């Protein structure tokens, strides 16, 4: 079982545990166990659909006899009135899975919609929009899946799949050179093939990184577009470059036109609004 599926399975189990507890007594009290029915996923707001594949897994894990007919796939732009899927099965199962499926799909679709907006703003440049670790605890894998569906790129998944030396790491380590050298030594000692990225706060720190080398990507933290252009020129294509901090949708294009490779945007996941949809009997 790969890490991604393991985390999704654990999330689904926890979500059902917190929602259903010892039983959905509303449904169990008024719906016969033998009753069969259908429900449709109705889109109520324009956006980008995401989460269909996860929804299928939610239904299957709760009740493998449920049948899902998908009409609109992940990544498709949708509008009010669209029906994304119809699910057929025991009415008790339809009612007990409804809220978890909607919570996941509304959240993922909201993220995919936001990401698509940012990705379109970057069209015509070579810059790609990245997500961050500013995610809902426990839902990171789903939220990062949604970013990819929307046209963005995943940064590291967590603290385990890349080394990112940020300002606090540099300060606690005693400087740029110590932080980079220790990271390289650690990877060699542990036999780990991890990319190393370092955050710089000014041109002095950037020059230190360029003099030392040994990294894969340099992040410009809270640089203005003018500073970013100068920084990109200083790097001169030797390393990947990333802009981060204080970048809004309105300034996104300004940074991209400086020639930076990536722009990381926490807002893709930390403050997004869910896409409006409902699951109605049909």
Does 44 participate in catalysis according to the annotation?
no
DSSP of 11-56? HHHHHHHHHHTT--HHHHHHS-TT-EEEEEEEE-S-EE---HHHHH
* Cβ(74)–Cβ(52) below 8 Å: yes
- Say which residues have a Cβ less than 8 Å from residue 14's Cβ, sequence separation at least 6: 138
* Residue 273 a catalytic site member: no
The string of DSSP letters for 200-215 reads ESSHHHHHHHHHH---
99 assigned to active site: yes
- Predicted local distance difference test score (pLDDT) of residue 225: 97
Task: Report how far residue 23's alpha carbon sits from residue 14's, in angstroms, rounded to the nearest whole number.
Answer: 14
Give this prediction's pTM. 0.95
- Helices 140-150 and 91-121 meet at what angle, rounded to 10? 50
In tens, the pLDDT along 25-66 reads 999 999 999 999 999 999 999 999 999 999 999 999 999 999
Cα 146 from Cα 144, distance rounded (Å) = 5
CA-closest candidate to residue 220, choices 243, 195, 254, 198: 243
Q: 278: annotated binding-site residue? A: no
* 228 annotated as belonging to a binding site for a ligand: no
Residues of the chain with pLDDT under 70: 1
**What domains are there in the chain, each with its CATH number?**
1-116+271-279 (3.90.1170.20), 118-268 (3.20.20.70)
Among residues 40, 44, 61, 166, which one is catalytic?
A: 166
Tell me, yes or no, if 117 is annotated catalytic.
no
pLDDT, residue 3, reads 80
Residue 31: φ, ψ to 5°: -115, 120
């Amino acid at each position: 079982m790969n890490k991604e599926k393991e985390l999704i399975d654990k999330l689904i189990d926890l979500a059902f545990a917190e929602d259903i507890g010892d039983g959905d007594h509303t449904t169990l009290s008024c719906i016969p166990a033998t009753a069969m029915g259908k429900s449709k996923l109705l889109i109520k707001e324009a956006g980008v659909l995401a989460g269909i594949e996860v929804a299928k897994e939610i239904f299957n894990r709760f009740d493998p006899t449920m049948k899902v007919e998908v009409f609109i796939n992940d990544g498709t732009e949708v509008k009010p009135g669209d029906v994304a899927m119809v699910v057929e099965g025991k009415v008790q199962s339809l009612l007990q899975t409804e809220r978890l499926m909607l919570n996941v799909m509304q959240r993922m679709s909201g993220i995919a919609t936001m990401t698509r907006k940012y990705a379109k703003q970057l069209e015509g440049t070579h810059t790609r929009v990245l997500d961050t670790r500013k995610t809902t605890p426990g839902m990171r894998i789903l939220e990062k899946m949604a970013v990819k569906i929307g046209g963005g790129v995943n940064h590291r998944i967590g603290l385990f799949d890349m080394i990112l030396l940020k300002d606090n790491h540099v300060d606690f380590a005693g400087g740029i050179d110590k932080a980079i050298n220790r990271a390289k030594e650690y990877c060699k000692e542990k036999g780990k093939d991890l990319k190393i990225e370092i955050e710089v706060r000014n041109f002095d720190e950037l020059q230190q990184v360029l003099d030392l080398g040994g990294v894969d990507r340099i992040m410009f933290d809270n640089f203005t577009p003018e500073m970013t252009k100068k920084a990109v020129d200083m790097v001169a294509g030797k390393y990947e470059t990333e802009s981060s901090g204080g970048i809004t949708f309105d300034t996104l294009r300004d940074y991209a036109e400086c020639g930076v490779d990536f722009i990381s945007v926490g807002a893709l996941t930390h403050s997004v609004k869910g896409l409006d949809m409902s699951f109605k009997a049909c």
